[in-house]
Amino acid sequence: MASTACFVIVSKNDIPIYEAEVGSAPKREDQAYQHQFILHAALDVVQDLAWATNTMFLKSVDRFDDLVVSVYVTAGHTRFMLLHDSRSEDGIKSFFQEVHELYIKIFLNPLYLPGSRITSSHFDTKVRALARKYL
Amino acid sequence: MGREVAESCVDGVVMQMVAAYCGGFYAAKPELAARRIEAIGFQVGHQLTERYTMERPRFSDHLEAIKFICKDFWSELFKKQIDNLKTNHRGTFVLQDNHFRWLTRVSVDPSVESMDATENDSTTLGDSAAQTTSMLLYFPCGIIRGALTNLGISCSVTADMSNLPACSFVVRIKT
């Protein structure tokens, strides 16, 4: 179980469409901002790595102190980014795959504008449940 | 993700969409109807690629994405692969389907529709049938363009239906 983790979904136009602090550590405002800075800084690394490989799961693309960034890039170039300190790569990959399925269900909704913020509380509940299960 | 829809329902929806836009909403403006139908196809294609690429690695070049459209994407939508893919290696691809599923039930023989047709009426009905068929093709053109746009390829798509039920889609990639 990761003691600290932040999960962000970034659309192909570099707009964050979903953010969640997941993990068992108590919530702290200043740390939430720092987590987002770290993830956004890692976007440049992802941009380069995305061309070098065609796998969807990019593990440990960036590092900050004892925190690691893992990323999952879809064919449409949506990026799932996770900031974590656990070592369970299989769990992280499974988490990404399950969230990808949830994301596709949102994406196929004809009333959802691709690239807009995901505001579904059902989606949020499910993502947090998956985080508790896999991370 | 495993739910299915009866194919006859999809056929009916596509036909009704064309009928609604050509005969109803934009009866006097076929160009606007065509653009509207293509836009609907664009959204459908945009969303379907997100779903069908879920299990496979990402594409590293345009040809891989086009081949995905010809094989996996086409199999999901039309239960068969594209029969022929040609390219001039300068950004133009021709996808030929020798038995396009959505055209196999389209009748272009005006005498079947009106046994009382005079020669002039037959000509009119023939033109009308050809126009309806071309309107039907704006939807798959939009699907292909939406799919490729979601994969990062800007393009324009046109259809050639001179040899029914075979159909060719010409994809021109914008650079």
Element (H, E) at B47: helix B30-52
Write out pLDDT tens, residues A53-106. 878 888 788 888 888 888 998 888 889 998 887 667 888 888 899 999 999 998
Give the separation between CA B150 and CA B134, rounded to whole angstroms: 25
Which chain B residues are within 8 Å of A50, Cβ to Cβ? 58
For A96, which residue in chain B has the nearest alpha carbon?
B54
Give the separation between CA B46 and CA B152, rounded to whole angstroms: 11
Chain A nearest CA to B145, separation (Å): 14
Q: Which pLDDT score is estimated for A4?
A: 66
Q: Smallest Cβ distance to A75: which of B43, B47, B59? A: B59
Q: Which residues of B touch A (CB under 8 A)?
A: 1, 43, 46-47, 49-51, 53-54, 56-60, 150-152
Q: Which pLDDT score is estimated for B137?
A: 84
Give the separation between CA B15 and CA B19, rounded to whole angstroms: 6
Selection from B45, B40, B51, B44 nearest residue B3 by Cα: B51
Selection from A111, A131, A133, A100 nearest residue A21 by Cα: A131
Give the separation between CA A36 and CA A28, rounded to whole angstroms: 13
Which chain B residues are within 8 Å of A47, Cβ to Cβ? none
- For tokens 């399950």, name the residue: A98
Chain A nearest CA to B165, separation (Å): 30
A:B CB pairs within 8 Å? 49
Q: Does A77 touch chain B (CB under 8 A)?
A: yes
Identify the residue with better confidence: B167 or B125. Answer: B167
For B149, which residue in chain A has the nearest alpha carbon?
A76
Cβ atoms within 10 Å, residue B175: 7
Give the separation between CA A70 and CA A82, rounded to whole angstroms: 5
Q: Which pLDDT score is estimated for B37?
A: 86
For A107, which residue in chain B has the nearest alpha carbon?
B47
Write out pLDDT tens, residues A8-51. 999 888 888 988 887 766 666 667 788 888 888 888 888 888 88
Is domain B6-107+127-171 annotated with CATH 3.30.1380.20?
yes
Total domain count, chain A: 1
Write out pLDDT tens, residues B124-162. 555 566 666 777 888 888 888 888 888 888 888 888 877
For A104, which residue in chain B has the nearest alpha carbon?
B51
Q: Which pLDDT score is estimated for A9?
A: 92
The tokens for B47 are 């969303």
Which chain A residues are within 8 Å of B43, Cβ to Cβ? 110
For chain B, give the percent of residues with pLDDT over 70. Answer: 83
Residue boundaries of the structural domains of chain B: 6-107+127-171
Write out pLDDT tens, residues B64-85. 888 888 888 888 888 888 888 8
Q: Which pLDDT score is estimated for B117?
A: 40
Domain hosting residue A15, numbered range: 5-134
Q: Does A75 touch chain B (CB under 8 A)?
A: yes
Write out pLDDT tens, residues B88-116. 888 888 888 888 787 777 766 554 444 44
Selection from B116, B118, B170, B117 nearest residue B148 by Cα: B170
A104, B60: Cβ pair inside 8 Å? no
Which chain B residues are within 8 Å of A78, Cβ to Cβ? 50
CB A69 within 8 A of CB A81: yes
